Each structure stands twice: as structure tokens, then as C-alpha cells.
Chains A and B, each alone.
Chain A
Amino acid sequence: MLVVRYLFLTVAILVLSATLLGHSLRSQMEAMSVQNGNWQTTVNAGSADAGTMLRAAVALGGLLASTREDSVYYIVETVNGEPLRLDCDYVLRGGDYDADWWSVTAYAWDNYLIPNDYKRYSYNNENLIRDADGRWEIQVSVNKQPGNWLPTGPAASANWHKFSAKDFDLLLRLYAPGQEYLDKPASASLPQIHKVGCS
């Protein structure tokens, strides 16, 4: 009887610890992230001064992240507070950014690249189709679109594993970024995302 009681207590402690950890990770990430429009960036992923909770969150969602001096990552998971969804189409518009190179990659909610027949997972500063002024737009949609198109899903992982409100997200990588991204992450120049419509 005593054994059963201790077993029950241990399981209860483990379950509650994991639940509390999940909650703490979310709130810590929010506290340590900087918002720039719909984009978010974390100011010390990968560095030695990352706290216990941030290090755990990075290990789960972005293992082997570089320091900000090497690369800056911005993620968009929501547009005007609404999580990115497969039944909505979005458009990303931009120009050029101060970095040695940059790319925009779509990831499914499971943190992996999204399966598609075209093996189209990302665009970078050299392979985007641009207008005469160097401006570009990417159609972000499940369905094939003319011009620059990033497929959004569905994910390869089974849906019952899904643990987030978003169906996918977009990650902007800026490698060897300019000083603006290190000093003013909340106001540095970034592409703009808009919702086109939902089915």
C-alpha cells in the first residue's frame, strides 16, 4: 500500500513538473523574445548567458543555434495575433536586408521541413524572383501559386502529436547580420507578412 502511494506521488510530481516546465518555457520565451511587427527574435539563443529555461527551450526547438553575432533568427508564428493556419493564404513582401546572406524557410508545427513535390522549402536573397526595383513577394499557401511560392503543409508528423496552435511558421535567417539587427532587433528592417484570405 505504501509502495503504491509513493508510486502515485512520484508520477504526480513528474506530471506536474513537466506541466509547470511547459508553462515556464512559454512564459520565459515570451519574456526573452523581442517583437518586431509579426516577427519574434530571441536575444541570447545559444550564448553562455542563456538562462536555464531558455537553454531548455532552444534545445527543444532550435538545437545548435548560433550566437547573434553569427546569425540572427526571426520567426513569424502569428499574424495580428492569429496563429498561421493551413486553410489561410498569406503573402510575404520585402526587399533586401543587411546581412551576408539571408533566407526565409517554412517549417511545420513539428519543427521540420514541409513535404512537397517541388522540394521547395525556402527562398534566399539570390533565388527570389524580383521586380525591377528588387522588391519581391512570396505566396505562402498549401496550393501551388505563380511566382515565389512557399508550400505550408501538411506536416509529415501525425496530427495527434500536434502540440501547438500554429500549423506552420516562417523562419528568417540573417547570416553575418548588420549592426542594426544586433542593436535594434525590435525595429530593424524585415519583410512584411499579410493574410490574403481563408477558405
Chain B
Amino acid sequence: MNHNLPEERLARLLDFMGKVTASATHEIKNELAVINEQSRLLQEMLAMAENGREPDPARLGQLIGRVVVRVGQADQAVRRLNAFAHGADLDRGQTDAAHSLQKIMGLFQRPADMKGISLELAAEQGPALQVRPILWEQLVWACLEKTAERAASGSKLRVGMSKREGGLRVEFCLEPPAPVEAPPPESLCLPEVQVRAEGDGLLVLTTPLA
């Protein structure tokens, strides 16, 4: 991992990784809790069948179908967390910005759900960035947090990424609009990236292209 980062930057990075991990594991634990309840109910229905109370086949089928869906959701959450964890292994290299945005927005879904806001991503398949993936992802997470800070329940947080001359343009804004108080701390910025408040949202500009 990034051992040559200044202490404050490293502390913020650990904080970010802690938040993402806590949120993702909470999501996984919730899925497991539901799967546990559904499996136990199935077990109890079978036990009742042994005592002469016939289970409703339609209800059994519905429960088993739901278990399969929840296992799939838990698996997706584990995959997202695993992909995120491996991003920390990578040093400065070619970061696929669109893929990275998609990954972090997937991980940000739970905090967004807790605030009652939905997420929308419109990203052109962009060029790769010459940045450390984990630091870019930390910056994206911070922009999502800052934009979501003042969102009312029912809002939509939109992220749009497009190519611009010499780099990428990523916009974060709310619908209905609510002004972002301040951009993320400067210490999160990367030499290749600028972040500023623009209109009611945040604008991230990157250079150079890989």
C-alpha cells in the first residue's frame, strides 16, 4: 500500500478505508441476517410438516427463491468490497475512471440509502488516468459525501463524467439542487486533479490523459 504518503494523508486514507469496509460489511451482515431468518423459517416449516402441518408448496418455493436472490445480493456486496480491497494493492498506474466511479458508487449505495437518496451515474467510457486508484477512489467518495451532506430525502445524486481536452470532467450534483457547502479538503486532491464547487455541485477536472 501507499507507505510513502504523508502522515495526515495516510490517516485520511485509513479513515476512508474504514468507512467503506464498515458500510460494506454492514450490508453483507444484513443480507446474511435475512438469509438466516428465511432458512430458519424453512427449517421450522419442515419441522411442522413432520408434525402433520402440511407446508404450502407455493410459500416454500417463494422463500427458497428469495434466499437465492439474497445470496446473490450478498455475493455482489462481497465482490464490490473485494474489488475495492484489491485497488489498494495497485500503485500509480492506469486507472479506468468510469469503472472506478461505478465501483465507488456501488459502495456508496448504502450510505445513500440511509439518507434516502438515489444515485445516478452517466459516464462515457473514458480514458485511463495516471493516478493511484485508491487515492482517486478516496477523492470520488469524498465528493459523494460532500454532495450528499445536504441532500433532502428523496433527492437524486447525479454523477456525470465526460472527456474534456486534456483530461476528464466529473460533475456531482443533486436533484433538486442543494448547494454543496465546501469541496473536500485540499489534502485529498492529487497533483493531476482539481476539485472545486461549481453551481450547486462539485466539479472535478483531471489532467493529463494517459
A and B are partners in one complex rather than unrelated chains: no
Which A residues are closer than 8 A to B by beta carbons? none
Which B residues are closer than 8 A to A by beta carbons? none
